[in-house]
Amino acid sequence: MTYVLNSMPKQIESNFLKKCTKAETATIGHKRHLGFVDRKVQNILNRKITVAGTAVTLAIPGQDSTLLHHIIQFLRPGDILCIDRLGDDKHACLGGGVAAAIVSSGCSGVILDGPCTDVPEIEEYNLQVWCKGTSPITTRLYDTGGSFNVPISIGGAVVHPGDVVIADFSGVLIMPPNEAENDVSWALEKQKSEPASHKEIFNGKFLGDLSGASKKVDEKLG
C-alpha cells in the first residue's frame, strides 16, 4: 500500500452550512434514504448539538495513523474530517493528541468509522466526534499508507470530498452539494409546521387523522 494525496475540495458556502445546522437529520430522513451513516456512529459525548461542514475524506488501514497525523495540517475551518478505517474496529486512531491538533486547525468535527480513545480530553478540547464507541488499543506510525480526499465509505454511506455533512443527536447524513439545498429547505419547512400539529394532538386530535394513516386503513377495510 502507498500514499494517495489529492487536493482539498471546494468548501461549501458558510451561510448554507449555517442553514444546515438548523435542519435535523431525522427530519430529512422523512424524505431522503441515501447518505445516512450506520446508526452505530454517534456523538461520543452524547451532546444535543448539530454541526455541518464540507467533507474532507481519509482512508487509513488497521493499526496505522501516519497519514492522519500528516494531513491535519491541511484542515480548514468549516471542514469535517471523515475517516474510513477500512474495516478495522479495534484500533483507536483519534485520541487526545490528535484531537488537540484537529481543534487547532479550526476543523468543525470528525466522523470516524471506528472507535476513539481519550474521551475526557476530547470533551475538554470541545471536539465534536461521531464514532463507534471507544477502544483502549491505539494506532501507531507504521508508515503503511493511506488515501486522502478520495471517495470513501463510512457506516455504509459513500462520502466524496466536498460533500455536505450534517451530524446531530440522531446521527450523520452525507449529501452531494447539488441535492442538499432542496432537502435542507424541505426539512426546515416541515420543522416549522410540527409544533402546530403536536399542539393539535395534545388538544385531542388523533395522529392517524392528522397524518392520513387512518384514512388509508379505513379504505383498505372497506
List 109's β-bridge partners, or say none.
80
The x, y and z cell numbers of residue 36, run together, are: 445516512
Residue whose C-alpha cell reads 456523538 in the numeric block: 43
3-state secondary structure 131-177: ECCECCCECECCCCCEEECCCEEECCEEECCCCEEEECCCCEEEECH
The 10 Å Cβ neighbour count of residue 30 is 10
Per-residue pLDDT reduced to its tens digit, 97-147: 999 999 999 999 999 999 999 999 999 999 999 999 999 999 999 999 999
CA 119 from chain centre, in angstroms, equals 18
Q: What is the DSSP letter of 107?
A: -
* Burial grade of 102 (CB within 10 A; 0-12, 13-18, 19 or more): buried
- 3-state SS, residue 123: helix
- In this prediction, residue 222 carries a pLDDT of 83
Residue whose C-alpha cell reads 474521551 in the numeric block: 119
Q: What is the DSSP letter of 81?
A: E
- In this prediction, residue 17 carries a pLDDT of 98
* Burial grade of 69 (CB within 10 A; 0-12, 13-18, 19 or more): middle
The x, y and z cell numbers of residue 95, run together, are: 485520541
Per-residue pLDDT reduced to its tens digit, 165-176: 999 999 999 999
Per-residue pLDDT of the chain (222 residues; tens, 9 = 90+): 799 999 999 999 999 999 999 999 999 999 999 999 999 999 999 889 999 999 999 999 999 999 999 999 999 999 999 999 999 999 999 999 999 999 999 999 999 999 999 999 999 999 999 999 999 999 999 999 999 999 999 999 999 999 999 999 999 999 999 999 999 999 999 999 999 999 999 999 999 999 999 999 999 998
Q: Which residues of 122-157 are buried (b: 16+ CB within 10 A; e: fewer)?
A: beeeebbbbbbeebeebbeeeebebbbbbebbbbeb
Do 163 and 174 form a contact (C-beta atoms < 8 A)? yes
List 165's β-bridge partners, or say none.
53, 174
pTM > 0.85: yes
Report all structural domains of the chain as residue ranges with CATH numbers, in order of start: 3-186 (3.50.30.40), 193-221 (no CATH)
